Chains A and B, each alone.
Chain A
Protein backbone atom coordinates (compact mmCIF):
# COMPACT_ATOMS: atom_id res chain seq x y z
CA UNK A 1 0.00 0.00 0.00
CA UNK A 2 1.44 3.37 -1.03
CA UNK A 3 1.79 6.21 1.47
CA UNK A 4 -0.78 8.35 -0.32
CA UNK A 5 -3.31 5.53 -0.32
CA UNK A 6 -2.63 4.82 3.36
CA UNK A 7 -3.23 8.46 4.29
CA UNK A 8 -6.37 8.49 2.15
CA UNK A 9 -7.77 5.37 3.84
CA UNK A 10 -7.00 6.75 7.32
CA UNK A 11 -8.80 10.02 6.43
CA UNK A 12 -11.85 8.13 5.12
CA UNK A 13 -11.81 5.92 8.19
CA UNK A 14 -11.69 8.97 10.51
CA UNK A 15 -14.48 10.76 8.60
CA UNK A 16 -16.73 7.69 8.92
CA UNK A 17 -16.05 7.49 12.65
CA UNK A 18 -16.75 11.21 13.16
CA UNK A 19 -19.95 10.99 11.08
CA UNK A 20 -21.18 8.04 13.13
CA UNK A 21 -20.39 9.83 16.38
CA UNK A 22 -22.17 12.94 15.13
CA UNK A 23 -25.18 10.85 14.15
CA UNK A 24 -25.31 9.30 17.61
CA UNK A 25 -25.32 12.67 19.38
CA UNK A 26 -27.56 14.53 16.90
CA UNK A 27 -30.30 11.97 17.40
CA UNK A 28 -30.17 12.87 21.07
CA UNK A 29 -30.29 11.23 24.43
CA UNK A 30 -33.51 9.31 24.96
CA UNK A 31 -35.68 10.39 27.88
CA UNK A 32 -36.96 8.16 30.65
CA UNK A 33 -39.57 5.63 29.61
CA UNK A 34 -42.15 3.65 31.42
CA UNK A 35 -41.10 0.02 31.49
CA UNK A 36 -43.56 -2.81 31.69
CA UNK A 37 -42.39 -6.39 31.53
CA UNK A 38 -45.24 -8.46 30.17
CA UNK A 39 -43.65 -11.70 29.15
CA UNK A 40 -40.28 -13.31 29.75
CA UNK A 41 -39.95 -14.26 26.14
CA UNK A 42 -40.82 -10.82 24.88
CA UNK A 43 -38.17 -9.42 27.10
CA UNK A 44 -35.65 -11.94 25.87
CA UNK A 45 -36.49 -11.00 22.31
CA UNK A 46 -36.83 -7.25 22.47
CA UNK A 47 -34.69 -6.18 25.46
CA UNK A 48 -37.21 -3.40 26.06
CA UNK A 49 -37.07 -3.31 29.82
CA UNK A 50 -33.40 -3.67 30.68
CA UNK A 51 -31.21 -0.72 29.85
CA UNK A 52 -27.63 -0.04 30.78
CA UNK A 53 -26.07 3.35 31.25
CA UNK A 54 -23.32 4.11 28.68
CA UNK A 55 -20.75 6.37 30.37
CA UNK A 56 -23.60 8.56 31.70
CA UNK A 57 -24.37 9.68 28.13
CA UNK A 58 -27.32 7.52 27.24
CA UNK A 59 -29.18 4.37 28.16
CA UNK A 60 -28.58 1.48 25.80
CA UNK A 61 -29.49 -2.16 25.39
CA UNK A 62 -27.06 -4.64 27.01
CA UNK A 63 -26.05 -5.82 23.52
CA UNK A 64 -24.40 -2.46 22.82
CA UNK A 65 -22.20 -2.94 25.88
CA UNK A 66 -21.50 -6.48 24.69
CA UNK A 67 -20.48 -5.12 21.29
CA UNK A 68 -18.05 -2.65 22.88
CA UNK A 69 -16.61 -5.32 25.16
CA UNK A 70 -16.11 -7.70 22.22
CA UNK A 71 -14.41 -4.95 20.23
CA UNK A 72 -12.22 -4.14 23.23
CA UNK A 73 -11.21 -7.78 23.57
CA UNK A 74 -10.43 -7.91 19.84
CA UNK A 75 -8.36 -4.74 19.89
CA UNK A 76 -6.28 -5.90 22.87
CA UNK A 77 -5.77 -9.32 21.28
CA UNK A 78 -4.87 -7.79 17.90
CA UNK A 79 -2.43 -5.36 19.52
CA UNK A 80 -0.68 -8.13 21.44
CA UNK A 81 -0.48 -10.29 18.31
CA UNK A 82 0.75 -7.37 16.18
CA UNK A 83 3.44 -6.36 18.66
CA UNK A 84 4.66 -9.70 19.98
CA UNK A 85 3.68 -12.42 17.51
CA UNK A 86 3.63 -11.12 13.94
CA UNK A 87 7.24 -9.80 13.97
CA UNK A 88 8.34 -13.34 14.92
CA UNK A 89 6.52 -15.03 12.04
CA UNK A 90 8.61 -17.70 10.34
CA UNK A 91 8.50 -19.24 6.87
CA UNK A 92 7.62 -22.59 8.43
CA UNK A 93 4.74 -21.59 10.71
CA UNK A 94 4.32 -22.54 14.35
CA UNK A 95 0.99 -23.60 15.85
CA UNK A 96 -0.33 -20.14 16.71
CA UNK A 97 0.90 -18.66 13.45
CA UNK A 98 -0.85 -21.50 11.66
CA UNK A 99 -4.14 -20.69 13.43
CA UNK A 100 -3.87 -17.00 12.52
CA UNK A 101 -2.94 -17.70 8.91
CA UNK A 102 -5.75 -20.23 8.57
CA UNK A 103 -8.29 -17.77 9.99
CA UNK A 104 -7.14 -15.05 7.60
CA UNK A 105 -6.88 -17.31 4.57
CA UNK A 106 -10.36 -18.81 5.09
CA UNK A 107 -11.89 -15.36 4.52
CA UNK A 108 -9.42 -14.11 1.93
CA UNK A 109 -9.84 -17.31 -0.11
CA UNK A 110 -13.62 -17.08 0.27
CA UNK A 111 -13.43 -13.52 -1.10
CA UNK A 112 -11.15 -14.63 -3.94
CA UNK A 113 -13.40 -17.50 -4.99
CA UNK A 114 -16.74 -15.67 -4.63
CA UNK A 115 -15.57 -12.32 -5.91
CA UNK A 116 -12.74 -13.10 -8.32
CA UNK A 117 -12.50 -9.64 -9.92
CA UNK A 118 -12.23 -7.38 -6.86
CA UNK A 119 -11.61 -8.94 -3.48
CA UNK A 120 -9.06 -6.91 -1.50
CA UNK A 121 -11.52 -4.95 0.63
CA UNK A 122 -14.27 -7.56 0.85
CA UNK A 123 -11.71 -10.12 2.12
CA UNK A 124 -10.82 -7.83 5.01
CA UNK A 125 -14.50 -7.03 5.63
CA UNK A 126 -15.44 -10.72 5.63
CA UNK A 127 -12.61 -11.41 8.08
CA UNK A 128 -13.76 -8.68 10.47
CA UNK A 129 -17.46 -9.56 10.15
CA UNK A 130 -16.84 -13.30 10.51
CA UNK A 131 -14.61 -12.81 13.55
CA UNK A 132 -17.13 -10.39 15.10
CA UNK A 133 -20.12 -12.67 14.60
CA UNK A 134 -18.27 -15.79 15.76
CA UNK A 135 -16.63 -14.31 18.84
CA UNK A 136 -19.63 -12.09 19.58
CA UNK A 137 -21.95 -15.08 19.63
CA UNK A 138 -19.59 -17.11 21.81
CA UNK A 139 -19.30 -14.08 24.08
CA UNK A 140 -22.70 -14.81 25.66
CA UNK A 141 -21.27 -18.10 26.98
CA UNK A 142 -18.93 -16.19 29.27
CA UNK A 143 -21.88 -14.51 30.96
CA UNK A 144 -20.24 -11.24 31.95
CA UNK A 145 -22.48 -9.40 34.40
CA UNK A 146 -23.52 -5.78 34.11
CA UNK A 147 -25.78 -3.60 36.21
CA UNK A 148 -28.91 -2.16 34.61
CA UNK A 149 -30.23 1.33 35.27
CA UNK A 150 -32.86 -0.19 37.51
CA UNK A 151 -30.11 -1.84 39.58
CA UNK A 152 -30.64 -5.37 38.30
CA UNK A 153 -27.78 -7.69 37.41
CA UNK A 154 -27.78 -8.50 33.71
CA UNK A 155 -25.81 -11.17 31.91
CA UNK A 156 -24.45 -9.56 28.75
CA UNK A 157 -25.96 -11.19 25.62
CA UNK A 158 -24.41 -11.66 22.19
CA UNK A 159 -24.15 -8.30 20.38
CA UNK A 160 -26.19 -9.63 17.48
CA UNK A 161 -28.94 -11.04 19.72
CA UNK A 162 -30.19 -7.45 19.78
CA UNK A 163 -32.14 -6.51 16.65
CA UNK A 164 -30.29 -3.19 16.46
CA UNK A 165 -26.93 -4.99 16.26
CA UNK A 166 -28.27 -7.34 13.60
CA UNK A 167 -29.74 -4.44 11.58
CA UNK A 168 -26.45 -2.55 11.83
CA UNK A 169 -24.58 -5.59 10.51
CA UNK A 170 -27.05 -6.17 7.67
CA UNK A 171 -27.17 -2.53 6.63
CA UNK A 172 -23.40 -2.14 6.80
CA UNK A 173 -22.87 -5.27 4.70
CA UNK A 174 -25.38 -4.04 2.11
CA UNK A 175 -23.69 -0.62 2.10
CA UNK A 176 -20.30 -2.25 1.50
CA UNK A 177 -21.77 -4.21 -1.43
CA UNK A 178 -23.52 -1.14 -2.90
CA UNK A 179 -20.51 1.16 -2.50
CA UNK A 180 -18.20 -1.53 -3.92
CA UNK A 181 -20.47 -1.81 -6.95
CA UNK A 182 -20.51 1.95 -7.47
CA UNK A 183 -16.72 2.27 -7.09
CA UNK A 184 -15.88 -0.57 -9.45
CA UNK A 185 -18.75 -0.48 -11.95
CA UNK A 186 -20.23 3.00 -11.63
CA UNK A 187 -23.91 3.34 -12.47
CA UNK A 188 -24.15 -0.29 -13.56
CA UNK A 189 -22.83 -1.39 -10.14
CA UNK A 190 -25.30 0.92 -8.43
CA UNK A 191 -28.21 -0.62 -10.36
CA UNK A 192 -26.95 -4.14 -9.57
CA UNK A 193 -26.74 -3.22 -5.88
CA UNK A 194 -30.16 -1.55 -5.79
CA UNK A 195 -31.72 -4.66 -7.34
CA UNK A 196 -30.89 -6.47 -4.10
CA UNK A 197 -32.78 -3.92 -2.00
CA UNK A 198 -34.18 -6.65 0.23
CA UNK A 199 -30.68 -7.75 1.20
CA UNK A 200 -30.23 -5.56 4.32
CA UNK A 201 -33.59 -6.72 5.71
CA UNK A 202 -32.98 -10.38 4.94
CA UNK A 203 -29.45 -10.26 6.31
CA UNK A 204 -30.47 -8.45 9.48
CA UNK A 205 -33.42 -10.68 10.27
CA UNK A 206 -31.52 -13.83 9.36
CA UNK A 207 -28.82 -12.92 11.87
CA UNK A 208 -31.28 -11.80 14.48
CA UNK A 209 -33.62 -14.75 13.99
CA UNK A 210 -30.88 -17.35 13.99
CA UNK A 211 -29.28 -16.07 17.14
CA UNK A 212 -32.60 -15.51 18.80
CA UNK A 213 -33.93 -18.96 17.99
CA UNK A 214 -30.99 -20.50 19.87
CA UNK A 215 -31.66 -18.26 22.84
CA UNK A 216 -35.38 -19.07 22.78
CA UNK A 217 -34.83 -22.82 22.63
CA UNK A 218 -32.39 -22.55 25.52
CA UNK A 219 -34.97 -20.48 27.43
CA UNK A 220 -37.62 -23.11 26.77
CA UNK A 221 -35.34 -25.88 27.97
CA UNK A 222 -34.69 -23.90 31.11
CA UNK A 223 -38.39 -23.22 31.52
CA UNK A 224 -39.21 -26.90 31.93
CA UNK A 225 -38.19 -28.08 35.36
CA UNK A 226 -37.55 -31.68 34.24
CA UNK A 227 -35.07 -30.57 31.59
CA UNK A 228 -33.28 -27.95 33.57
CA UNK A 229 -30.48 -30.15 34.87
CA UNK A 230 -27.29 -30.76 32.84
CA UNK A 231 -29.15 -30.61 29.50
CA UNK A 232 -29.24 -26.78 29.25
CA UNK A 233 -25.45 -26.68 29.45
CA UNK A 234 -25.08 -29.01 26.48
CA UNK A 235 -27.94 -27.45 24.50
CA UNK A 236 -26.84 -23.90 25.25
CA UNK A 237 -23.20 -24.48 24.35
CA UNK A 238 -24.02 -26.49 21.24
CA UNK A 239 -26.62 -24.02 19.98
CA UNK A 240 -24.32 -21.10 20.59
CA UNK A 241 -21.33 -22.75 18.93
CA UNK A 242 -23.29 -23.93 15.92
CA UNK A 243 -24.98 -20.56 15.48
CA UNK A 244 -21.67 -18.79 15.82
CA UNK A 245 -20.15 -20.89 13.06
CA UNK A 246 -23.16 -20.95 10.76
CA UNK A 247 -23.97 -17.26 10.99
CA UNK A 248 -20.35 -16.19 10.50
CA UNK A 249 -20.16 -18.45 7.45
CA UNK A 250 -23.53 -17.44 5.98
CA UNK A 251 -23.09 -13.68 6.30
CA UNK A 252 -19.54 -13.65 4.95
CA UNK A 253 -20.46 -15.96 2.08
CA UNK A 254 -23.47 -13.83 1.12
CA UNK A 255 -21.44 -10.64 1.41
CA UNK A 256 -18.64 -11.96 -0.83
CA UNK A 257 -21.03 -13.48 -3.37
CA UNK A 258 -23.07 -10.29 -3.76
CA UNK A 259 -19.89 -8.18 -3.80
CA UNK A 260 -18.58 -10.43 -6.56
CA UNK A 261 -21.81 -9.93 -8.52
CA UNK A 262 -21.83 -6.14 -8.33
CA UNK A 263 -18.11 -5.76 -9.04
CA UNK A 264 -18.09 -8.13 -12.00
CA UNK A 265 -16.89 -6.23 -15.08
CA UNK A 266 -19.42 -6.05 -17.94
CA UNK A 267 -19.15 -8.86 -20.48
CA UNK A 268 -18.28 -7.94 -24.05
CA UNK A 269 -21.23 -8.19 -26.40
CA UNK A 270 -20.28 -11.29 -28.37
CA UNK A 271 -23.85 -11.98 -29.48
CA UNK A 272 -23.93 -9.02 -31.81
CA UNK A 273 -20.68 -10.08 -33.44
CA UNK A 274 -21.98 -13.63 -33.81
CA UNK A 275 -25.24 -12.34 -35.25
CA UNK A 276 -23.44 -10.16 -37.76
CA UNK A 277 -21.25 -13.13 -38.73
CA UNK A 278 -24.39 -15.26 -39.25
CA UNK A 279 -25.91 -12.54 -41.42
CA UNK A 280 -22.75 -12.39 -43.49
CA UNK A 281 -22.83 -16.16 -43.92
CA UNK A 282 -26.46 -16.19 -45.07
CA UNK A 283 -25.72 -13.38 -47.47
CA UNK A 284 -22.78 -15.30 -48.91
CA UNK A 285 -24.88 -18.48 -49.20
CA UNK A 286 -27.67 -16.56 -50.89
Chain B
Protein backbone atom coordinates (compact mmCIF):
# COMPACT_ATOMS: atom_id res chain seq x y z
CA UNK B 1 0.00 0.00 0.00
CA UNK B 2 2.64 2.53 -0.95
CA UNK B 3 0.87 4.01 -3.95
CA UNK B 4 0.04 7.16 -2.08
CA UNK B 5 2.56 10.05 -2.22
CA UNK B 6 4.96 10.96 0.57
CA UNK B 7 5.21 7.30 1.58
CA UNK B 8 1.73 7.47 3.14
CA UNK B 9 0.68 3.94 4.01
CA UNK B 10 -2.84 3.30 5.31
CA UNK B 11 -1.78 0.02 6.88
CA UNK B 12 0.88 1.79 8.91
CA UNK B 13 -1.56 4.55 9.83
CA UNK B 14 -3.87 1.86 11.20
CA UNK B 15 -0.93 0.34 13.06
CA UNK B 16 -0.21 3.71 14.64
CA UNK B 17 -3.91 4.08 15.54
CA UNK B 18 -3.96 0.58 17.02
CA UNK B 19 -0.86 1.39 19.03
CA UNK B 20 -2.21 4.69 20.31
CA UNK B 21 -5.57 3.16 21.22
CA UNK B 22 -3.78 0.61 23.42
CA UNK B 23 -1.69 3.38 24.93
CA UNK B 24 -4.77 5.51 25.61
CA UNK B 25 -6.58 2.63 27.27
CA UNK B 26 -3.60 1.70 29.43
CA UNK B 27 -2.89 5.27 30.48
CA UNK B 28 -6.55 5.97 31.16
CA UNK B 29 -7.19 2.92 33.32
CA UNK B 30 -3.77 2.67 35.00
CA UNK B 31 -2.76 6.31 35.52
CA UNK B 32 -5.23 9.05 34.61
CA UNK B 33 -8.38 7.69 36.18
CA UNK B 34 -6.86 6.60 39.56
CA UNK B 35 -4.91 9.86 39.94
CA UNK B 36 -7.96 11.99 39.07
CA UNK B 37 -10.06 9.90 41.45
CA UNK B 38 -7.52 10.40 44.25
CA UNK B 39 -7.33 14.15 43.61
CA UNK B 40 -11.14 14.32 43.69
CA UNK B 41 -11.16 12.45 47.02
CA UNK B 42 -8.62 14.89 48.45
CA UNK B 43 -10.60 17.84 47.12
CA UNK B 44 -13.73 16.45 48.78
CA UNK B 45 -11.79 15.88 52.01
CA UNK B 46 -10.57 19.49 52.12
CA UNK B 47 -13.99 20.76 51.06
CA UNK B 48 -15.51 18.79 53.91
CA UNK B 49 -12.96 20.28 56.33
CA UNK B 50 -13.67 23.75 54.98
CA UNK B 51 -17.42 23.22 55.33
CA UNK B 52 -16.96 22.04 58.91
CA UNK B 53 -14.71 25.01 59.71
CA UNK B 54 -17.26 27.33 58.12
CA UNK B 55 -20.05 25.72 60.13
CA UNK B 56 -17.97 26.14 63.30
CA UNK B 57 -17.31 29.79 62.48
CA UNK B 58 -21.02 30.29 61.82
CA UNK B 59 -21.91 28.60 65.12
CA UNK B 60 -19.36 30.73 66.97
CA UNK B 61 -20.71 33.85 65.31
CA UNK B 62 -24.23 32.85 66.22
CA UNK B 63 -23.23 32.15 69.85
CA UNK B 64 -21.38 35.47 69.97
CA UNK B 65 -24.43 37.27 68.66
CA UNK B 66 -26.61 35.47 71.21
CA UNK B 67 -24.26 36.47 74.02
CA UNK B 68 -24.10 40.02 72.78
CA UNK B 69 -27.89 40.11 72.69
CA UNK B 70 -28.00 38.66 76.18
CA UNK B 71 -25.43 41.21 77.38
CA UNK B 72 -27.41 44.02 75.81
CA UNK B 73 -30.55 42.68 77.47
CA UNK B 74 -28.71 42.39 80.81
CA UNK B 75 -27.47 45.98 80.46
CA UNK B 76 -31.01 47.09 79.78
CA UNK B 77 -32.26 45.15 82.77
CA UNK B 78 -29.49 46.60 84.97
CA UNK B 79 -30.45 50.06 83.78
CA UNK B 80 -34.10 49.43 84.59
CA UNK B 81 -33.19 47.94 87.97
CA UNK B 82 -30.92 50.90 88.71
CA UNK B 83 -33.66 53.34 87.81
CA UNK B 84 -36.19 51.44 89.88
CA UNK B 85 -33.73 51.18 92.79
CA UNK B 86 -33.02 54.92 92.53
CA UNK B 87 -36.70 55.69 92.52
CA UNK B 88 -37.29 53.34 95.45
CA UNK B 89 -34.37 54.86 97.36
CA UNK B 90 -35.73 58.33 96.66
CA UNK B 91 -39.16 57.30 97.88
CA UNK B 92 -37.64 55.65 100.95
CA UNK B 93 -35.56 58.74 101.56
CA UNK B 94 -38.63 60.90 101.31
CA UNK B 95 -40.60 58.55 103.49
CA UNK B 96 -37.86 58.40 106.14
CA UNK B 97 -37.46 62.18 105.96
CA UNK B 98 -41.15 62.78 106.32
CA UNK B 99 -41.36 60.25 109.14
CA UNK B 100 -38.38 61.88 110.85
CA UNK B 101 -39.96 65.27 110.42
CA UNK B 102 -43.29 64.10 111.77
CA UNK B 103 -41.49 62.34 114.66
CA UNK B 104 -39.55 65.50 115.38
CA UNK B 105 -42.75 67.53 115.27
CA UNK B 106 -44.37 65.05 117.59
CA UNK B 107 -41.38 65.17 119.97
CA UNK B 108 -41.40 68.93 119.88
CA UNK B 109 -45.11 69.02 120.50
CA UNK B 110 -44.79 66.56 123.36
CA UNK B 111 -41.87 68.53 124.74
CA UNK B 112 -43.92 71.73 124.53
CA UNK B 113 -46.82 70.04 126.24
CA UNK B 114 -44.53 68.63 128.89
CA UNK B 115 -42.78 71.97 129.34
CA UNK B 116 -46.16 73.69 129.63
CA UNK B 117 -47.27 71.07 132.05
CA UNK B 118 -44.06 71.46 134.12
CA UNK B 119 -44.41 75.19 133.94
CA UNK B 120 -48.00 75.02 135.10
CA UNK B 121 -47.05 72.58 137.78
CA UNK B 122 -44.17 74.81 138.95
CA UNK B 123 -46.48 77.82 138.97
CA UNK B 124 -49.06 75.79 140.88
CA UNK B 125 -46.44 74.60 143.32
CA UNK B 126 -45.09 78.13 143.73
CA UNK B 127 -48.61 79.42 144.31
CA UNK B 128 -49.19 76.70 146.82
CA UNK B 129 -45.93 77.48 148.59
CA UNK B 130 -46.77 81.18 148.62
CA UNK B 131 -50.19 80.35 149.99
CA UNK B 132 -48.62 78.14 152.59
CA UNK B 133 -46.16 80.88 153.49
CA UNK B 134 -48.94 83.42 153.65
CA UNK B 135 -50.93 81.04 155.69
CA UNK B 136 -47.98 80.40 158.03
CA UNK B 137 -47.21 84.10 158.32
CA UNK B 138 -50.80 84.88 158.94
CA UNK B 139 -50.98 82.23 161.49
CA UNK B 140 -47.88 83.55 163.20
CA UNK B 141 -49.25 87.08 163.22
CA UNK B 142 -52.54 85.98 164.49
CA UNK B 143 -50.87 84.07 167.16
CA UNK B 144 -48.76 87.13 168.16
CA UNK B 145 -50.21 89.99 170.22
CA UNK B 146 -49.77 93.09 168.33
CA UNK B 147 -51.55 93.34 165.05
CA UNK B 148 -49.46 96.20 163.79
CA UNK B 149 -46.34 94.46 164.83
CA UNK B 150 -47.56 91.33 163.19
CA UNK B 151 -48.41 93.33 160.15
CA UNK B 152 -44.92 94.76 160.06
CA UNK B 153 -43.47 91.41 160.64
CA UNK B 154 -45.61 90.11 157.81
CA UNK B 155 -44.35 92.77 155.52
CA UNK B 156 -40.80 92.12 156.57
CA UNK B 157 -41.19 88.45 155.98
CA UNK B 158 -42.62 89.18 152.54
CA UNK B 159 -39.70 91.41 151.74
CA UNK B 160 -37.30 88.84 153.12
CA UNK B 161 -38.91 86.22 150.85
CA UNK B 162 -38.35 88.40 147.89
Contact = CB atoms under 8 A, between A and B. Distances in A.
> Real complex partners, A and B?
yes
Interface of A: 1, 13, 16-17, 20-21, 23-24, 27-28, 30, 33, 46-48, 54, 58, 60-61, 63-64, 67-68, 70-71, 74-75, 78-79, 81-82, 86, 89, 91, 100-101, 104-105, 108, 123-125, 127-129, 131-132, 159, 162-165, 167-169, 171-172
B24 A48 contact: no
B38 A89 contact: yes
Interface string B1-36: 110001111111111111111111111101111111
B36 A104 contact: yes
B39 interface: yes
Contacts of A60: 12, 15
Given A20-B18, A24-B18, A30-B1, A100 B31 contact: yes
B32 A124 contact: yes
Nearest to A79: B30
Chain B interface, >50% SS class? helix
6 contacts: A61-B12, A74-B26, A86-B38, A104-B36, A127-B32, A169-B16
Contacts of A61: 7, 9, 12
A75 B23 contact: yes
A71 B23 CA distance: 6
Contact of A78 (B11, B20, B31, B38): B31
B45 interface: yes
What is the interface residue range for chain B against chain A? 35 or more
Given A23-B14, A30-B2, A86-B35, A163 B22 contact: no
B6 to A, nearest CB: 6
Interface of B: 1-2, 6-28, 30-36, 38-39, 42, 45
A27 B33 CA distance: 35
B38 A124 contact: no
Given A48-B7, A86-B35, A91-B45, A17 B21 contact: yes
Nearest to B31: A78
A108 B13 contact: no
Nearest to B6: A163
B26 A163 contact: no
B26 A75 contact: yes
A100 B27 CA distance: 12
Contact of A21 (B2, B18, B20): B18
B26 A105 contact: no
Contacts of A89: 38
Contacts of B14: 20, 23-24, 27, 168
The 8 A-B pairs with the shortest beta carbon distances in the complex, nearest first, are A168-B16, A78-B30, A20-B18, A164-B12, A128-B24, A82-B30, A46-B7, A71-B23
B41 to A, nearest CB: 9
A168 B25 CA distance: 16
A27 B1 contact: yes
Contacts of A101: 35, 38-39
A82 B24 CA distance: 15
B3 to A, nearest CB: 10
B11 A13 contact: no
A199 B18 CA distance: 21
Contacts of A123: 32, 36
B35 A16 contact: no
Contacts of B32: 104, 123-124, 127-128
Given A30-B11, A47-B7, A124-B28, A165 B23 contact: no
A108 B31 CA distance: 13
B35 A104 contact: yes
A167 B2 contact: no
Nearest to B23: A71
Contacts of B28: 124, 127-128
Nearest to A25: B11
A169 B12 CA distance: 12
